[in-house]
């Protein structure tokens, strides 16, 4: 699990990071609104802890822009203000939860666990994009329009599931390597290209309109053939 902490109070950010790492999260910190916005836009996290008041861009604007870009990562807003209007502002902007400073770290961790569990339950057994869907139990790829189907190998399935889950953004080669082989492996980028090629063949076999598009020098994303 990965958490992004966007908090300009360095001491508090370090404490939050340490607490999440004790819970076996991988934790990244950004102390600036604009930097945090781009980090959340270009990287993939399971939950974000976002301060409402930040330099360069406040947390509400960060969250508003993410939601406009289609980034649906769960967000816990932090603020020093306890007025109901501030809480409503955060929730209306797209926050999943809200904590007023000062708070107990145990409560923050508990709320993060609840949000990530809720997110997991929202994952359907047949996630999809465009005219394709995946059966998570059997690893079968379906053309939802024609009913055609094909069995995917483990890596093919993992790649396509990851691209579907993050279809609102570009997934980098580094992220795919980390997802499929882990941080400490020796897999190279050509391993990714090989499995992308295998997956494309399976998609072509069922004659779907969804495509895996290579974004030169960055990674991959899903698009429809006429997109």
Q: CA 83, CA 62: separation in Å to the nearest integer?
A: 21
Do 106 and 18 reside in the same domain of the chain? yes
How far out from the chain centre does Cα 22 lie?
A: 21
Of the chain, the percentage scoring pLDDT greater than 70 comes to: 92
Do 46 and 141 reside in the same domain of the chain? no
Do 34 and 87 reside in the same domain of the chain? yes
- 139, 154 Cβ separation under 8 angstroms: yes
Average pLDDT, the chain: 88
128 beta partners: 133
Q: What is the dihedral of CA 9, 47, 93, 56, to 10 degrees?
A: 40
Q: CA 186, CA 226: separation in Å to the nearest integer?
A: 37
Radius of gyration of the chain (CA): 19
Q: What is the pLDDT of residues 19-67, one digit of tens each?
A: 999 999 999 999 999 999 999 887 878 899 999 999 999 999 999 999 8
Do 134 and 61 reside in the same domain of the chain? no
Sheet of 210-215: strand order equals 171-172, 219-224, 210-215
pLDDT at 90: 76
Residue range of the domain that includes 218:
128-224
What's the total number of domains in the chain?
A: 2
Do 102 and 152 reside in the same domain of the chain? no
Do 74 and 183 reside in the same domain of the chain? no
Flag whether pLDDT at 227 surpasses 90: no
CATH number, residue 8: 3.40.50.2300
Do 11 and 111 reside in the same domain of the chain? yes
């Amino acid at each position: 699990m990965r958490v992004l902490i966007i908090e300009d109070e360095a001491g508090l950010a370090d404490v939050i990071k340490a607490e999440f790492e004790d819970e076996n999260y991988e934790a990244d910190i950004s102390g600036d609104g604009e930097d945090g916005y781009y980090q959340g836009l270009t990287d993939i996290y399971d939950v974000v802890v976002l301060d409402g008041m930040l330099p360069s861009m406040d947390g509400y604007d960060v969250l508003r822009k993410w939601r406009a870009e289609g980034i649906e990562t769960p967000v816990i807003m932090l603020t020093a203000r306890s007025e109901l209007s501030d809480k409503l502002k955060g929730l209306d902007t797209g926050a999943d939860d809200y904590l007023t400073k000062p708070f107990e770290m145990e409560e923050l961790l508990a709320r993060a666990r609840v949000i990530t569990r809720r997110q997991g339950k929202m994952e359907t057994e047949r996630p999809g994009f465009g005219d394709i869907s995946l059966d998570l139990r059997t690893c079968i790829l379906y053309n939802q329009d024609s009913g055609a189907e094909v069995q995917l190998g483990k890596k093919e399935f993992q790649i396509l599931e990851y691209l579907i889950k993050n279809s609102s953004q570009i997934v980098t080669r580094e992220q795919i390597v980390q997802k499929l082989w882990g941080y400490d492996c020796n897999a190279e980028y050509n391993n990714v290209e090989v499995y992308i090629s295998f997956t494309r063949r399976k998609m072509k076999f069922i004659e779907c309109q969804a495509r895996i598009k290579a974004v030169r020098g960055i990674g991959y994303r899903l698009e429809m053939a006429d997109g």
